[in-house]
Structures are given as structure tokens and as C-alpha cells.
Amino acid sequence: MEENLHCLRKETRLIGRYTIEGVLGQGGFGITYLGIDELHEKKVAIKEFFPQGIVTRNIEYQDTVTVTFVGEKENYEKGKERFLKEARTMAKFSKDEGIVKALDFFEINNTAYIVMEYLEGITLKQYLRENQRIAPEDLIELLVPLIESLDEIHSQGMIHRDISPDNIMVLPDGRIKLMDFGAARDYTEFGEKSLSIVLKPGYAPPEQYQTHGVQGPWTDIYALCATMYKCITGENPPDAIERVMDDSLKKISEFGIVIPPQEEAAIIKGMSVSAKDRYQDIKDFCEDLYGGYEEDAYSAPQEYILQNPGIQHNAFEKIVTWDCLWFGSYPQTQIREKDGAIYTILKNEKDWDSNNDIVVNGIKYHKKEENYFRYEPIKWRILQRDNTTAFLLSDIILDIQPYHKETEKIFWGESHIRNWLNKNFMEAAFISQEQQMIEAMKRLNVADNTYGMPENYTMDKIFLLSEEEISETSNAQRYGFSKSASSYDKARKSESSQYAKDTSWWWIQTVDMENGVRVGADGWISKNGYYILKYNAGIRPALCLKLSSNLFSYAGTVSSDGTVNEVGYDSECGWILK
């Protein structure tokens, strides 16, 4: 956001410790800056109390805030005290994972400041604008830290009073945090006395519209459930006051969304117009939503040990076993006429988006020419893992593409397939949060002195395995592949999805301008000869996944002899390294 004469200038220092770097946002009651904590050498967010309309400042002359009218001075001082109370409230809960942390607060320049942890990410409101909806099972898991923190807030006699998608931050690793405690109040001090009115239509229950409305944990529960309703349906919840006269709230399932009945019932009850019909505390809400809630603990998720490839030899053959992960999704299974109603629905559907995708009953589909395919989780084989990342290869061929669009000499860096993987495939397979959890890898583009050119590299998030990664090297053997390029290697053989037209040949990245390299149906490596051909072959993408996220799930194991021990997708499964 562009700075103006009211905003502190870049490099302004506060209390000799914090340096202003720029403006992050402005609202009716304050300005939020990006700052640097010089003591700890890290970015922070600095919120300044600056109620527009009653104060002014011209930074060309001074940084001090001036109250515009003498009659507003008392209101200004009261507002500043409430602002500092917000800081003290946030500080109470600084150890809770679901709440943005307050690091410091102070008064200077005739106003007050709150220093908070700086969070990379976007608001839940922005996330929904980009992604429309969140699947019920994903949302329920995502909200666990926030709900636990809200329970702690209520146990201290506080209520937040302003829960909504624009006050929840979605971080790059998939975690969420509750922000903005400016409206929080200690409801135990007021009883049935008046609490100041805070309204956000669709998320504020009827008692927040009333001067003497009795507010409590049930008030936050309404806003939380309204936020969940928005996330799952993609629709704005109706205004509570309109519902008092005519309650037209649609059930989630009426949108054609698949959701467990007990979860739907819990959310709808939490949005009851009458406060007495709602849950009175978070624990009661969670007992219905999660099917059981115990203080300080949810049921422990299943834990799995992520292993590097296991290689065994018997009298007849080598058998390689890979651990697998679910991560991302891609069109895979074709929907045919024999599949019944869903085929008819897709055939008659007119509202396909620009990518030829559509969501029906909570499931995403893709249209290719006059064929229809269901998006399904992508299974990846772990070729190598360490404490922070996993090097992955798709378990099957996911698509077919030409290596390049023309029959000509070409390096990897300028090839069609590199561009397609990092643009088309990336956008189709991964939401923005998942894309951020993929680490860019250095890939050899030109080998030293090839055609008189110096060695150089590309940086890619999605790529093809190279010939050296599937043959001839110790790395290839560690990944489970045969050292010989000419041998029939079951570890290199691949099945394919129906979307990939059941092909069995798949491309390998080449650093040679001329020779296109593919893995054949029996696992041997074939070079096409002079010039890279423009013919299609299968795509088995590879990537490096950061293991710090909760956006993947353990998928079991696959073996080169065809044995599959699959574990279904589970957003709550855990993993440990060994």
C-alpha cells in the first residue's frame, strides 16, 4: 500500500529498537507497518493506534499524532487505552499456536504501538477468493489449533467478538492463526450489562446488534461456525438480523456438498439464531463436531516411519520397496457412461471454468475434449528423504506430452516439457499453499563443454528425472533403480492413469541437445537418436517436498514386484523419521 503524509516514513526508528520498512495496511483505527526488530534481527508487524477522522499528522514536520478537535481528546485517550488493552490481551495468549503473537507494546509520539510476529501468508478471506471452498475434512483438521486457542481464551473469561475470514491468517505451511483482538472483551466483568457493539454482517449473531445483548462464548461460536459455513459452501452466511424475521439458512448438504451428518449438525446448531439454542462452550461444540473432545488433547493421529527405499534380493530378482505420500491432486480416472448419473451431469454441464474444471458434490472433475476425468490425490514414491525434505517421483505416469513442440536441437532449459511442468502441471496439481511447500532444485541444463558451451543449470520446482538419476550412478542404485541402462528393470517400469491413455513409456530429462531419452515399457532406457522428437510420451513428474507442512499424507508402500500396501488419504496421519 502506498504511503501518505499520515504514515511513518521508511527507516523511522521507534524506541531505539524498531525500524519502519513500509506500510502493510490501514484501517479505520490504525496503521500496520512492516518493521525490523534490530535486537533480534527479524521482521515484525507494528500496529499503530491512529483513529482516522479525529487525529492527524504531517510527517514532513513531526511523527507526533495530534488530536484534531479538543472535544475528542477524552475519546482518543480512552481508545488508546483500549488499544493497549488489546496488546495485553494478546500477550496473555502468546504461547497458543492458533493466535498471532504480541511481542511488545509501548507508547510514543502521543499514540501507542503493538509489535507482533510478522506472518507470511494471506487472510482466509483472500484464500477463499482464490480457491472458492475448503473440503469439510480439511477444514475440520485445519481449525484444531484455532479452536484450542479459542477454548483457552474463553477459559480466561474473554471473548474475541470478531471472528471472520478476514481476521484469520493462512500461513504458507497450511497453518492458520487468529488475528485482531481489538474487539476482545472480558465478558465476566459485564454480565448482562452493555458491551460495545461490534458488527460484521453474516458473522455477528443477533446479540451483537443489541445494546444490552448478553454476549459470551456462544457469541464466538456463532462467528466460528459462520466462518466454517463460508469456507465449506463458498457462500456468504446470511445476516443474523434477517434470520430473526425469516430464517432461510440452507443446510450445507443442500449445496450438494458431501459432509458427515454430525459435522453439518454441529455447524448449523452453532449458527442458531437464539443464543440459548447454541453451544454454550467450545467443549460441547467439539464433542459433536469431532465426535469427542478431551481437554488439552485430541485423539493421537496414526504415526508412520518414513523410510528410504528398501532393496532386497532373492534367488530370482531384486525387489525394491518405496514408501509413498499423497500430495496434490490431478485428473486420473475417466468417468464413463456406465458410471451413471455423474456422467450425465458432466455431459450436460455448461459451467466449466477456463481450465475445463468443475466441482460437483464436492468432487473436482476435468473435461478433455469430450471425455471426463475425476481429480484424485497424487501418489508419490520417496526416492530419498532427510530430516527436512523428501525427493519424490510420481508413482504412475500422470499425463502425456511432447518433450518439445518441434523436431530440433534443444536444451532442457528451453524445452516445452520444462515450461509445461512448472506452469500447466503445477497450477493443475497443487493449490497455492502446496506450491509453496515444493523446494526449487538445481538441475543440470548444459554439461561442461557440450557443443562448446559452458556448464549451466536451471532452478525448477517440477522436473523430470535425469538419466544419471535412474542408471549408471550410485544415486540411481540408492533410489532403487538398476545401474545398467540397457537392462529390463522392474523398478523403472510404470503404469499410467486413464488420463494418460495407459501409456507405458515415460520421458527422462536430457542434457544433450539431440537425444530424447525415454524409459521403455520393460524398464530399459531408449535414446531416440538425432534431434529431440516432437512425439508424445508419458510424464512422471519429480519434486522435492518440504516435510514441515501438514499438506501431505502417508500413502503406504509399493514394490517393484507389484505388491501394493496402500494407506488411504488421511489429513490427520503423522510421520516420523528413522
For range 131-160, the mean pLDDT: 86
Of 394, 392, 390, give the one whose Cα is nearest residue 519. Answer: 394
Whether residue 444 is found in the same domain as residue 564: yes
Whether residue 330 is found in the same domain as residue 267: no
What is the predicted pLDDT for the residue at 576? 44
For range 182-195, the mean pLDDT: 41
**What tens digit of pLDDT does each residue of 332-378 get?**
999 999 888 889 989 988 889 999 999 887 789 999 989 999 999 99
**Per-chain mean pLDDT for the chain:** 85
Higher pLDDT pick, 521 / 454 = 521
**What tens digit of pLDDT does each residue of 430-485 get?**
998 899 999 999 998 877 665 667 778 899 999 999 989 999 888 899 999 988 88
What is the predicted pLDDT for the residue at 108? 94
Flag whether 381 is in a domain.
Answer: yes
> With 90 as the cut, is the pLDDT of residue 419 above it?
yes
Residue pair 35/21 in contact (Cβ under 8 Å)? The answer is yes
Q: How far is the C-alpha of 401 from the C-alpha of 578, rounded, in Å?
A: 38
Whether residue 105 is found in the same domain as residue 126: no
Flag whether 344 is in a domain.
Answer: no
| pLDDT band with cut points at 50, 70 and 90 for residue 61 | confident
What is the predicted pLDDT for the residue at 445? 85
Whether residue 438 is found in the same domain as residue 548: yes
| pLDDT band with cut points at 50, 70 and 90 for residue 532 | confident
- 3-class secondary structure, 165: helix
CATH code: domain of residue 179: 1.10.510.10
Query: 274: Cβ–Cβ under 8 A, 6 or more apart, which residues?
Result: 206
Q: Whole domain around residue 212: which residue ranges? A: 122-289
Domain end, chosen from 57, 89, 117, is at 117
Whether residue 190 is found in the same domain as residue 283: yes
What is the predicted pLDDT for the residue at 89? 73
| pLDDT band with cut points at 50, 70 and 90 for residue 507 | very high
Q: How far is the C-alpha of 375 from the C-alpha of 328, rounded, in Å?
A: 10
Domain end, chosen from 117, 133, 152, is at 117
> With 50 as the cut, is the pLDDT of residue 195 above it?
no
Flag whether 106 is in a domain.
Answer: yes
> With 50 as the cut, is the pLDDT of residue 212 above it?
yes
What is the predicted pLDDT for the residue at 171? 87
Whether residue 175 is found in the same domain as residue 90: no
The angle that helices 144-155 and 217-233 make with each other, rounded to 10 degrees, is 170
What is the predicted pLDDT for the residue at 578? 38
Whether residue 558 is found in the same domain as residue 537: yes
What is the predicted pLDDT for the residue at 575? 46
Flag whether 360 is in a domain.
Answer: no
Flag whether 5 is in a domain.
Answer: no
Most confident of 6-15, 300-309, 391-400: 391-400
Q: How far is the C-alpha of 134 from the C-alpha of 551, rounded, in Å?
A: 13
> With 80 as the cut, is the pLDDT of residue 307 above it?
yes
Flag whether 366 is in a domain.
Answer: no
**What tens digit of pLDDT does each residue of 224-264 get?**
999 999 999 998 999 988 898 888 889 998 888 888 888 99
Whether residue 101 is found in the same domain as residue 196: no
Which region among 317-321, 349-353, 449-453, 514-518 has the lowest average model confidence (pLDDT)?
449-453
> With 60 as the cut, is the pLDDT of residue 17 above it?
yes
Whether residue 270 is found in the same domain as residue 219: yes
How many domains are contained in the chain?
Answer: 3
Whether residue 106 is found in the same domain as residue 245: no
Grid cell in block for residue 338: 456406465
Whether residue 543 is found in the same domain as residue 414: yes
Whether residue 553 is found in the same domain as residue 445: yes
Of 363, 322, 326, 356, give the one whose Cα is nearest residue 342. Answer: 363
